[in-house]
Amino acid sequence: MRFKIKLSICLVFISIVSFGQLSNGGFPLQVNTLKSAENTIVRMPKLQQSIIDGAIEANSIADDQLKPLKFAHAFEVNLNAGNSGQWYSTTAKYNVWKLTIQSSEAKSLNLIFDKLMLPKGARLFVYSEVKNQYLGAFTAQNNKMSGKFAVAPVAGDEITIQYEVPEKNGTPVDFEITRVNHDFIGILKFDRRPLNGKVAGDCNVDVNCEIGNPWTEVKNSVCRLIVDGTEICSGTLVNNTAEDQKPYVISASHCYDEWNFAETTVYTFNYESPYCAPLDGDPSHSLSGAVMKAHFDSLDFALVELDEIPPPDFRPYYAGWDITGNIPDSSVSIHHPVGDIKKIAFDYDRAEYATFTSSSIKNPKNGSFTILRWDEGVTEIGSSGGGLFNMQQNIIGTLSGGAAICGNPVNDYFARFDMQWDYRSDSTKQLKCWLDPMDSGVTFLNGKNFNTDEDYCNAFTNLDDTDEHGTITLKVSGESQGYWGGSNSAGITEIMERFYVPGNETLDGISFGVGKLVLNSGRTDSKITVKVYDGNYLPESRIYSKEVYINTFAEDAMNFIAFDELVEPADTFFVGFELSSIHSKDTFGIYQSLRETNNATNQFYFKQNGDWYNFQESNSSGYAMVNVMELIACNVSLITDTPNIPAPVNVWVYPNPTQSELNLESDKSIDTESVSVFNMIGQEMNVGILKEDRYRVRLNLSGNRPGIYFVRFKYNEKFVTRKISFVPK
């Protein structure tokens, strides 16, 4: 069947994101609230406009040039089961304590708990019924030695806390809510307005743009910090010489006003658009709490150790570092400006030494690197603490501040990593004690992903820089029949994306870019069924399904759905969803990108009236389409550097990074026929190979996309592999 259709694209740049946090999932129990609901509500004082205006002005002026983002006002409280809320009994043999907190006109609310030691079997939820946003269940696994616990923001001006404890445990509960943080900026609604709902400037570069491909591994070390519920900064997960996966994160000291603020900070990884476009990311890869290890104002750094090692599906990369103090010929910074999705900035010129001074920071002489002018991207408030990397992709500094903004991207200052190393001998004011526990004396250490085999995970999407997402209307004979990516009256019941991931991969989950979500039915049971099919040309055999209620999704954002059982597809497979269980008055749809160029690759497939169709073959114009989806797969093919094979064999690859050609050299003869270049998932690349002599081969990578590659050749029946970075002009 072929359709003659009119495709209407509505491009949307508003983003609402639903924050997640490492937890055990599930939903709070339903309780009978016939008791006076008013007894369960605590209202914060009205936040004075003068406080909001003062904070916004400080963010805008940044007169001391520091770059944290103040987004919330803290109300100090002492709320517990003894002085607020209400206890309920349930048929599920749980006693339930419930408290709702309101703070008028808040864009979002977040909480700080103290004395939180949940007993076995107890569950804690934090949620907004109005915004359909749920965090939890938090359990005994989330207990911290400090008893402190920070909860990520929940949208809206009302937040509910629900504590559930088995009846057999009784009802004692000692924890307290000590802080209610009122968001006056709107960090969960990036609607491109200049102040409230402010997002990063248009000159910023999304980290997943093609120009950022060589930094695919390194970007996974960068996280966003919500410090004590009121400020946003950036940080970097760093390696140490013991290579023991201690989760150290470095940021700026001025982000932590107090030593113990590390305990009440939420660290969010992988908060980024899946491709080169301003689409709000999914923040569910979040960890709460850390222990401060070192903090020094003059060199503006803070090193913390996270309470938990980031799990494999976070794809954690422990960034390398360099303490030579050498001035980089070109530099890169990866960060979260204005708390927005992850961005990347490039300076193609040589940095300079500088002495940075502000109201709270007084560098020793030449204690910083200065970026005279960014060539691509910029930093902004919220970027504070973000790392500066050299071309070997090792961190050499952390952002203190500067004057750089879109339109005038000049004069940013990064405190020097080599001076932070051991400028002070006190272990609480230096990095050396923590990052070189072996006392090795090395001057640089490369980054590393410690997860291998079934724990090695990666993200996959079919989107590229030429795509542009939108909600795409399905029209037949001029009449709208809904959306190609969702609710429709044209008989389309399933939406699928085709993926190719070679190897013995297992699927961890899928993120959908939800573009349309309208809940008019008044019911809560509208749902989609997420499905995975094996198949080559079309979906064939279903190997997984999971029902997901659509009221748990956030519109205009990526939404991650974790798979709850082992899913092992073939190399080619399809992931998507069935629409049949959505109420007729509700609307759900995902973003898609229409490809109108000749010979464009199609990845969109759909089921209509019981039959499967390839979109490209089913429209008279021959257009192609891709869905806005990002897949997380583990146990994917990974090629890594081999250890140096025993002397006297030595191997060199240079220049690295390279812009076009690369030399592969050894002190033993190289078999040209065995030389090959692969990408990170094991696909062989098309490169030119020219043998210079017995010991040296020249490779031409021109025509390939920027990125991380692996050069491999065979010696004595064993393969020798070296990692390279391709950065074309």
Integer Cα distance of 190 and 97 in angstroms: 34
Domain 205-451: state its class.
mainly beta
Integer Cα distance of 196 and 56 in angstroms: 9
Q: 609-619: per-residue pLDDT in tens?
A: 999 999 999 99
**Can you list the alpha helix ranges (DSSP code H) found in 618-658?**
none
What are the CA-CA distances from residue 134 to residues 103, 161, 197, 291 (Å)? 18, 10, 21, 27
Integer Cα distance of 413 and 329 in angstroms: 16
Q: 374-410: per-residue pLDDT in tens?
A: 999 999 999 999 999 999 999 999 999 999 999 999 9
The candidate with the shortest Cα–Cα distance to 275, out of 630, 556, 549, is 630
Identify the bridge partners of residue 530 per DSSP, sorted by sequence position.
546, 577
Integer Cα distance of 331 and 388 in angstroms: 7
Look up residue 108 and give its two tokens.
């979002």
Phi and psi, residue 369, nearest 5°: -95, 140
Residues of the chain with pLDDT under 70: 1-22, 33-39, 60-64, 171-172, 189-198, 637-649, 680-682, 718
In this structure, the strands spanning 69-70 and 231-238 are antiparallel
In this structure, the strands spanning 707-715 and 676-678 are antiparallel
* First CA to last CA distance, the chain: 45
What are the CA-CA distances from residue 399 to residues 153, 263, 338 (Å)? 25, 22, 14
pLDDT of 58 reads: 72
pTM over 0.75, yes/no: yes
Name the DSSP letter for residue 275. S
Phi and psi, residue 181, nearest 5°: -105, 120
Q: Where do the structural domains in the chain lie, given as residue ranges? A: 15-190, 205-451, 457-634, 651-726
pLDDT of 671 reads: 84
Q: Where are the beta strands (DSSP E) in 90-170?
A: 94-102, 108-114, 123-128, 133-138, 149-150, 154-155, 158-166
Task: Out of 2.60.120, 3.40.630, 3.90.1200, 2.40.170, select the CATH number for domain 457-634.
Answer: 2.60.120
Name the DSSP letter for residue 289. -
What are the CA-CA distances from residue 410 to residues 179, 332, 339, 404 (Å)? 38, 14, 21, 5
Question: Dihedral, CA atoms, 186, 274, 133, 120, nearest 10 degrees?
Answer: -120
Percent residues over pLDDT 90 in the chain: 68
Integer Cα distance of 277 and 204 in angstroms: 11
Question: Which fold does the domain 651-726 belong to in CATH?
Answer: Immunoglobulin-like (2.60.40)
Same fold, 205-451 and 651-726: no
